[in-house]
Structure 1
């Protein structure tokens, strides 16, 4: 069943990797605005902030299979609307932002259900290995997908890329519908019939009651603030700082270079968590993220830009993966959806603010200054991490026994 799940995710991730380049590229080509590029990145993160709490509680009451397939179909319809509009030459910036918002809302539901799906498929002892395996597949696709997306967008146009993405969502949904083990509800007791508000509060209370989950979640805010700035300005920096054309396939290569860092992190995280204190992993990841962003802000060549993006992504992905695996390992099955969506909602809370603020700074001052501020945020978060009791927490195997 894990293999089918990985195939479904891999196919969808392939389409997402292409769209990750094509959608912001189409918006920047239409407007030339760094602020709007930052707005798109912000809009794509906002749904988690608004919907994370109620969706996490709701999904714990629903069949994971129905939630996963339904959200995939909705995403397919949203992305397919762009090539349909392109036929009539009716693609607008507002339409592109709306597509980003719709797929992001669907992702909140999908993500909440997926947190319960992994333990259901592999059991609690297999969570770390399955998560690392999924990240490996995701990042391998992330390495090849963006350059391919940039090439397709440059040769046939962005709408063709989004049509491929829509098809990938539909195929992924078909595969997910075959995983029977995901039919049951995560909650089987009377709690599932309780009030939605009670379910939300239960998830919040659990996060607050487990210090290491609470601290890693809060530190994620600083990580997402800095990461939002980098993501929101990647195309803008490539054009204004490195001098690339907006239709250059090299922009896709920059996205792919970032994915190389995520791949390295997915390979390292298991070894790190077995040998190194949990809090130290997060602090070190934040320092590396800060150094990578600072390097990207002053990169004077394409090669150096790729290298600094790899370093940034290793750091920021390590921070994220460390928090996710610790939460999934320590959280009871009936709380997986609401605890993980609530925690991610909090941890991702800085992303829209970071993306939006960085876009405005890039338009009013310059791109390099905006990125240097983001690097300072990551470094400050690392310093805070070193002062918390979590910094001295043991490696994951000791935590989970």
Structure 2
């Protein structure tokens, strides 16, 4: 494998691994330091809104500068935000305010970092000698590896080391991701100064609205975004509340880890399969297989019939998600105008970030007022309209490569 895709995929894995470790370790460190459960919740709540806002607004910046540079900078922001905590602890001691402040700073690198790395994908395909299908399949597989290793690494590190050392390690993964991204030549991340984006003028807000109009004006992009949001909503509600409550009620709290491992293992298998075979056969077959497989997986999980059935559903949903995610990534590479990538992907990622807590809140309300089984069935059923929409929506019938890049005017007015 050439240096460009190798550096990209390795930095992606390290960045994801660091985020996964931080997601588990940081709340525990806040709890150990402040002794307050509410404090851990306050840090999460205080960083959620800035993360969504940064995801929306930073897309304009990412479209204006070198894509490799934006990826490096966002990883460095994450590294500094986490690395500052043990320094502050040594100098003056950590308080809840410091955790919130560093969390807000770190949120400026989280969602924008995802967007920055995704804007690099077309350039990695062009300069890396790798097909989009292979690259996206490997990316999905490595994402599953990060989900498998992150929580286990966080738990192990918290047992063996003190909180400050764990924070240094977490910051080190983000720093290593930034350094690996620097192995990608600067020219690979250059934006096209001669394309349609060069003619854009006006304030950052007006340029942001151009990206929103492109997203909302394209039936294809809008359809794929809605389906992705539906999948994220169901998964977040199941992982974040329904399954933890279910296994607590059945006296098997440890099974939650096995179910999440099964989901990640399925994603690994699905991503690897798409990397190896994604160029074969019609894309519509891959798409429909992913939709139907996800429906089966969600139905098995939502049934809560027995632990083996829930485990099987997690594997099926994971495999289908790996296939589906790989194909969607390829389509995003091909069909988002290059000069609008930061704004469109930034909006999609911000919406994805916002829908995760929304799914957990919806699950909590349904569980409180209707019971855990009704909540599980109702939330799994949310995939049904997404499935029907994906199967019959006209913009999703032809997924083969387009003969030419779609100009921005066509994207904005498509389907009008």
Tell me by how many angstroms 1:335 deviates.
2.2
Cα separation, 1, equivalents of 2:18 and 2:341: 27
2:282 to 266, 275, 292: 275
| 1:108 to 1:182, Cα distance in 2 relative to 1, 3 A | farther
Cα separation, 1, equivalents of 2:163 and 2:372: 25
Cα separation, 1, equivalents of 2:310 and 2:167: 27
> Does 1:331 find its partner at 2:339?
no
Q: How does 1:290-301 map to 2 (within 5 A)?
A: 290-295=298-303, 298=304, 300-301=306-307
Cα separation, 1, equivalents of 2:115 and 2:162: 33
Tell me by how many angstroms 1:228 deviates.
2.1
Give the structure 1 partner of residue 81 of structure 2.
78
Give the structure 1 partner of residue 223 of structure 2.
215
> Does 1:61 find its partner at 2:61?
no
1:118 to 118, 121, 130: 121
> Does 1:394 find its partner at 2:394?
no
Cα separation, 2, equivalents of 1:155 and 1:299: 38
Alpha carbons 1:232, 1:356 under 8 Å: kept: no
Deviation string for 1:97-132 (max 9, x for gaps)? 766655443122212222221222331973332222
| 1:368 to 1:305, Cα distance in 2 relative to 1, 3 A | same
Whichever of the two has the greater Rg, that structure is: 2
Alpha carbons 2:125, 2:135 under 8 Å: kept: yes
| 1:25 to 1:318, Cα distance in 2 relative to 1, 3 A | farther
Tell me by how many angstroms 1:81 deviates.
4.9
Give the RMSD, CA atoms, in angstroms: 3.9
2:59 alignment partner, SS class? helix
Tell me by how many angstroms 1:151 deviates.
3.0
2:295 to 264, 284, 287: 287
Cα separation, 2, equivalents of 1:373 and 1:26: 35
Tell me by how many angstroms 1:379 deviates.
2.6
Q: How does 1:228-307 map to 2 (within 5 A)?
A: 228-233=236-241, 236-237=244-245, 240-241=248-249, 243=251, 253-269=258-274, 271=277, 274-277=281-284, 280-281=288-289, 283-295=291-303, 298=304, 300-301=306-307, 305-307=310-312
Alpha carbons 1:48, 1:344 under 8 Å: kept: no
Cα separation, 2, equivalents of 1:43 and 1:352: 13
Question: What is the TM-score when the length of structure 2 is the normalising length?
Answer: 0.76
Tell me by how many angstroms 1:215 deviates.
1.0
Q: Which moved more, 1:72-81 or 1:307-316?
A: 307-316
Cα separation, 1, equivalents of 2:370 and 2:36: 19
Cα separation, 1, equivalents of 2:272 and 2:403: 21
1:60 alignment partner, SS class? helix
| 1:131 to 1:150, Cα distance in 2 relative to 1, 3 A | same
2:191 alignment partner, SS class? coil
Question: What is the TM-score when the length of structure 1 is the normalising length?
Answer: 0.79
Tell me by how many angstroms 1:326 deviates.
0.9
| 1:53 to 1:36, Cα distance in 2 relative to 1, 3 A | closer
Cα separation, 2, equivalents of 1:19 and 1:344: 19
> Does 1:313 find its partner at 2:318?
yes
Cα separation, 1, equivalents of 2:327 and 2:77: 30
Cα separation, 2, equivalents of 1:313 and 1:209: 31
| 1:233 to 1:90, Cα distance in 2 relative to 1, 3 A | farther
1:396 alignment partner, SS class? coil
1:179 alignment partner, SS class? coil
Higher relative contact order (CA 8 A, sep 6+): 1
Tell me by how many angstroms 1:329 deviates.
1.4
Give the structure 2 partner of residue 151 of structure 1.
156
| 1:160 to 1:311, Cα distance in 2 relative to 1, 3 A | farther
Q: How does 1:166-185 map to 2 (within 5 A)?
A: 166-181=171-186, 185=190
Tell me by how many angstroms 1:242 deviates.
5.7
Q: Tell me, which stretches of 5 or more residues in structure 1 are unaligned?
A: none
